[in-house]
Amino acid sequence: MREKLQTVVIETPEHYELQFRLAGIGTRFVAYLIDKAVQLLLLFVLVTAAITTYFALGRVFPRVPVPEDLIKLLGRWLLAAAILMYGLATGGYFILFEYLWSGSTPGKRLQGIRVIRKDGRPITFVDTAIRNILRFVDILAEVYPIGLVVMFLDSRNRRLGDLTAGTLVVMDEAVNAPSAPDQAVAGPEDIPEVRYAVNSMTPNDYRIVVRFLARREGLEQEHRADLARKLCLRLLAKSDAALPVGSDPELFLERIAASYQERTRVL
């Protein structure tokens, strides 16, 4: 049931430990496909704009007396601008986004991942430039064959670009603030069975109950009712008690969870 989760712990010079979950290969692949789609959209917009400009100028210039040299110069500048924009949309896309968005791109942000340096610090422009220049080796034919193998073989899911630049891709998980001090209040334990169940409850039992309550809306009705009933029976069996006649198992589990939470409330 339980396996190792891929995490890295980075100790800062101040001896603080930062823990990150490594982004998996699949998540990174999906993020890349999203970025690719955004890139294609950008390119489409650029090409459409360039074609529109070209035709618009073609219509304007015959009517306006502009020196031919100026038209040629303008043409060259437009071409240069188009090449620059193309470069930005393809090669620069990842570099700029990762540099400006603290290691994220639109695809990465949607997948909740970002790039950091292996010492936990945000990536610099040089880091992102190196890892994205090497992307051209990793992606070969746009489907990441080399990157995929290197990531598969590396225990930290790093591709060539990451290995060279010394970067890691990690899950960008929200850090929950420690629970605020609560005021002490009496627990809702007016039903004896709730109290018996809570008394014999372990943290694991509590987690399962909380998980069930959080996910019950997504469960099929039949399984939801069955699971609620079985969880109640399991909890009550420890204290030789039975579910009160006519009581709703889910409501009972809610009470148990609330009571357990109440008892262990942090001051």
- Tokens in use for 215? 């996910």
Kindly report the number of other CB atoms within 10 A of residue 237's CB atom. 12
Output 92 or 187, the one with its CB closest to other proteins.
187
CB neighbours of 242 closer than 8 A, spacing ≥ 6? Answer: 193, 236
Calpha distance 162→169 (Å, rounded) = 8
Three-class SS of residue 202? coil
Residue type at position 196 = Y
Work out how close the CB of 97 gets to other proteins at its nearest, in angstroms, rounded to a whole number.
18
Kindly report the number of other CB atoms within 10 A of residue 140's CB atom. 12
Work out how close the CB of 86 gets to other proteins at its nearest, in angstroms, rounded to a whole number.
24
CA neighbor of 167 nearest in space, from 118, 124, 122 = 118
Q: Which residues make beta-bridge pairs with 167?
A: 117
155 is a contact residue toward other proteins (CB under 8 A):
yes
> Which element (helix H / strand E) includes 10?
strand 7-11
- When binding is defined by CB under 8 A, the residue of 68, 245, 246, 267 that contacts other proteins is 267
206 is a contact residue toward other proteins (CB under 8 A):
yes
- When binding is defined by CB under 8 A, the residue of 109, 212, 225, 254 that contacts other proteins is 212
The contact pattern for other proteins, residues 14-43, with x = CB under 8 A and - = no contact, is: -x-x-x-x-xxxxx-xxx-x----------
51 is a contact residue toward other proteins (CB under 8 A):
no
Residue type at position 208 = I
- For other proteins, the binding residues in 95-114 under the rule CB under 8 A are 111
- When binding is defined by CB under 8 A, the residue of 116, 231, 253, 256 that contacts other proteins is 231
Output 89 or 231, the one with its CB closest to other proteins.
231
Work out how close the CB of 180 gets to other proteins at its nearest, in angstroms, rounded to a whole number.
10
Work out how close the CB of 161 gets to other proteins at its nearest, in angstroms, rounded to a whole number.
16
Residues binding other proteins: number (CB under 8 A): 92
- For other proteins, the binding residues in 239-258 under the rule CB under 8 A are 239-242
Residue type at position 250 = E
90 is a contact residue toward other proteins (CB under 8 A):
no
Calpha distance 152→147 (Å, rounded) = 8
Output 91 or 216, the one with its CB closest to other proteins.
216
Choices 54-62, 68-76, 122-130, 198-206; region in contact with other proteins by CB under 8 A: 198-206
CB neighbours of 106 closer than 8 A, spacing ≥ 6? Answer: 34, 35, 38, 97
Choices 39-47, 89-97, 129-137, 234-242; region in contact with other proteins by CB under 8 A: 234-242
Q: Do the Cβ atoms of 22 and 4 come closer than 8 Å?
A: no
Q: Do the Cβ atoms of 65 and 116 come closer than 8 Å?
A: no
- When binding is defined by CB under 8 A, the residue of 49, 74, 79, 192 that contacts other proteins is 192
Work out how close the CB of 94 gets to other proteins at its nearest, in angstroms, rounded to a whole number.
18
